[in-house]
Amino acid sequence: MLPEPANDPGLRAWCDIPTSTDFPIQNLPFGVFSTADRSARTATRIGDQVVDLSALAELGLLNDLPHSQEAYATDSLNPLLRSGRPGITSLRRRLSEILRKDGPWDKDRDLITRKAFLPVASATMHVPVKIGDYTDFYSSREHATNVGSMFRDPKNALLPNWLHLPVGYHGRASSVVVSGQEVRRPNGQTRPDDQAPPIFGPSKQLDFELEMGFITFDGPELGNPIPIGKAQDHIFGLVLVNDWSARDIQKWEYVPLGPFLAKNFATSISAWVVTLDALAPFRVEAPEQDPPPLPYLHRTGPQGLDISLEVDIVPAGSTAATVCRSNSRYLYWSMEQQLAHHTVNGCNVRAGDLMASGTISGPTPDSAGSMLELAWKGTRPLAMPDGSERTFIHDGDTVVMRGFAQRDQVRIGFGELRATVQPAFP
């Protein structure tokens, strides 16, 4: 496969970019934003600047690409996604050409800056796609082993199916929210005393889950699976995911059909979708799989991604404590395997569907991707800078997730995924 020209580590933009940015010219993610004087439209980002794609289209810079002018001026990326991976690849290449120093549009930098640039602080970001369906997987062996060890026999922490297929469940698309939107503590039934009836009230064990999610292009028609060798053709890009979990509600409700109120109250995602093309240089081998999966899940080539991940907890009025450092390369089941398994029965996927990895935990105690593991079911409280402790998330806490990949002095990141917890409804 030929290298993607927009990934060239030697590329430089004609605009000023902070040296430590997540958004160099080699990234060029996609998102949706609005301003005080204008409704939502699509954008890319470079450094600390949002670049309005509808403005670039009005300047005639995107004319010969496979998208209509209206597709750039809408409140979701879905119309752009209907061009498939070739269409998004061509758009990203064009943006790279427009923003490249000494490129064909360098001479027009003043006009482009005036018409299409605005500081990211002036933009209100939105969920980037209209999510039709949301699936959450359970693909970290370390996480599944930790949870199984807590609640079952540590010698048999993994259920019999776990090493043979990517376990998943269907979540709630309507409650997916963008970074910066507050999350309200859920109410529900819990049973703190196993010898007494359940009670109703706010969850006392609210947890974060550190995940990555991928967004799809259209797949084949209902009844036609996506072979693992073609899965990448149907993956647009990735976002950070915090799939909030109310552990005490889940413990009482999940048998026999799995999570319900414990998960459907909120799922937070980052605002910018980083394309699979931009992440191509950071491919690594995924963990060895033993026993080998069935043929339809057999991996070919590197399917892991070397993306460093971290989580901060910021108590109200205090400073941040970094509680987790993990990496997406730990995932046992890859995106391609998740998508192949999801569709092997003929289930169809549509442009804008979201599929999350499940909690990403690593081999060390500080790489656990949830409070359930970090505080080991409440038995090992984490100290905060203000002197308080956490076993789960408190009202007023802000949870901040970050992720980036770095190689050859190029850093491709996702920005922050941030949400503050508000008290439950009375």
Q: Are strands 134-137 and 354-356 parallel, antiparallel or unpaired?
A: parallel
The candidate with the shortest Cα–Cα distance to 238, out of 191, 198, 265, 278, is: 278
Q: Are strands 235-242 and 267-269 parallel, antiparallel or unpaired?
A: antiparallel
Q: Is 230 helix (H, G, I), strand (E, B) or coil?
A: helix
67 flagged as catalytic:
no
CA-angle at 160, arms to 155 and 164, nearest 5°: 125
HSE of 420 in the Cβ direction (CA atoms, 13 Å)? 8
CA distances from 23 to 115, 128, 129, 348 (A): 20, 17, 20, 33
Say if CB 186 and CB 249 are below 8 A apart.
yes
Q: Which is catalytic among the residues 143, 234, 341, 342?
A: 143
The candidate with the shortest Cα–Cα distance to 266, out of 134, 135, 172, is: 172
* Paired strand residues for 326: 309
The candidate with the shortest Cα–Cα distance to 279, out of 116, 404, 419, is: 404
Q: What DSSP designation does 178 have?
A: E
377 burial level (CB within 10 Å; 0-12, 13-18, 19+): middle
- Identify the helix (H) or strand (E) that includes residue 156: none
CA distances from 414 to 45, 46, 273, 310, 418 (A): 11, 12, 8, 12, 12
* Paired strand residues for 124: 34
Locate 57 and state its tokens. Answer: 């289209």
CA 200 to CA 424: how far, in whole Å?
A: 12
**Backbone torsions φ then ψ of 143, nearest 5 degrees:** -65, -45
Say if CB 314 and CB 397 are below 8 A apart.
yes
Amino acid in position 227? P
CA-angle at 374, arms to 237 and 366, nearest 5°: 70
CA 205 to CA 372: how far, in whole Å?
A: 9
**Is residue 154 reached through a cis peptide bond, with omega within 30 degrees of 0 on the bond before it?**
no
CA-angle at 182, arms to 353 and 411, nearest 5°: 60
Active site residues: 143
